Amino acid sequence: MSELAEPAAAVEQFDCPTCSAPAGSTCRTRGGKVAPKYHTPRFMLVPQLRAELEVRTPADRGPSRAWEMGPAIDAAAPEAATKPTRVGYARCSTAQQELQSQLDALDEAGCDPVFSEKISTRIKVRPEFTKAMDFARTIKKAVPHQRVIFTVHEMKRLGRGAAELLTIAEDLRHHDIELELLTGPLKGVYDPSGHGAALFAFFAGMAESEREYIREKSQPAVSYAVTHQVFLGANAPRRSSSPRGGTRESHSPRYRRRDPDPFPSAHSHGTELCGAKPRAHQQCSHGHSGWTGNTPRSGDAA
């Protein structure tokens, strides 16, 4: 959080690029009322507030009341911060994967703020990534001469597909935002334009090739599992109660085998039908086991 004693006073030293409110006045809404918070491009003109997500309008300024121009003052000229603004982004694909090491590395690199999420790159819309990019663009728009760096732990945290990575690189180039990779072949800070864009595309192709290689290596195992009915997770055989008092294995309906009845109505000794009636999983007097049912067949011993 900011260490400024009066953030509102610091913000109101500048004209608002969004609503055109002059210095000395609060921001205003399109309906002509005092905005409940200062517009982002305006409060980012204050170097100490560039890491904040919002700056609320103080209660004594009358939020939601009819807007009135405040005392006129000379607007301050925006100044670039003494060091670049680093916007960090951390991502892993699943909830089981560890994310703290990326966050520690981004914090050590001086990133503030840091956006993070657990989401696969196969999902087209990544909310926290969108927020991070919007934040970096907003800073650059508010203070064009401010150096803004978008920082990630490694290239694949941005994306894996060549087309997606090239789109991100073009977006960064268009807004004059630098990209920083903390590890990997492209470790360092660079501007994704010119030779940098070509190098970025080269490693994007390598990442896509690696993903395809992993897919090809895993496909034989998947085919073997389907052919030999080796199942894991939801398709694994599971023990269920039998209506006849025993237990038996069942499979997912999609892969269920047509096995013979595991509980036949009687068992035999060669061609002779045994008339004994042992209960399930118990042996008869002849030493055989099985399910005989509750109703004796015709010809069976009483």
Using alpha carbons only, what angle is made at residue 182 by residues 181 and 183, rounded to the nearest 5 degrees?
A: 95
Residue 193 is a catalytic residue: no
Residues 6+ positions from 36 with CB-CB distance below 8 Å = 56, 57, 63, 64
Catalytic residue among 20, 25, 93, 120: 93
Strand-strand pairing, 247-250 and 238-241: antiparallel
Provide the Cα torsion 158, 144, 40, 4; round to 10°: 110
Q: State residue 69 phi and psi, 5-degree precision.
A: -70, 135
Tokens of 247: 């237990």
Give Rg (Cα) of the chain.
34
CA separation for the pair 134, 241 (Å, rounded): 56
Is the backbone of residue 122 left (phi > 0), alpha (psi -120 to 50) or beta?
A: alpha
Tokens of 146: 């401010």
Q: Are 47 and 145 in contact (CB under 8 A)?
A: no
CA separation for the pair 115, 136 (Å, rounded): 11
**What is the set of active-site residues?**
93
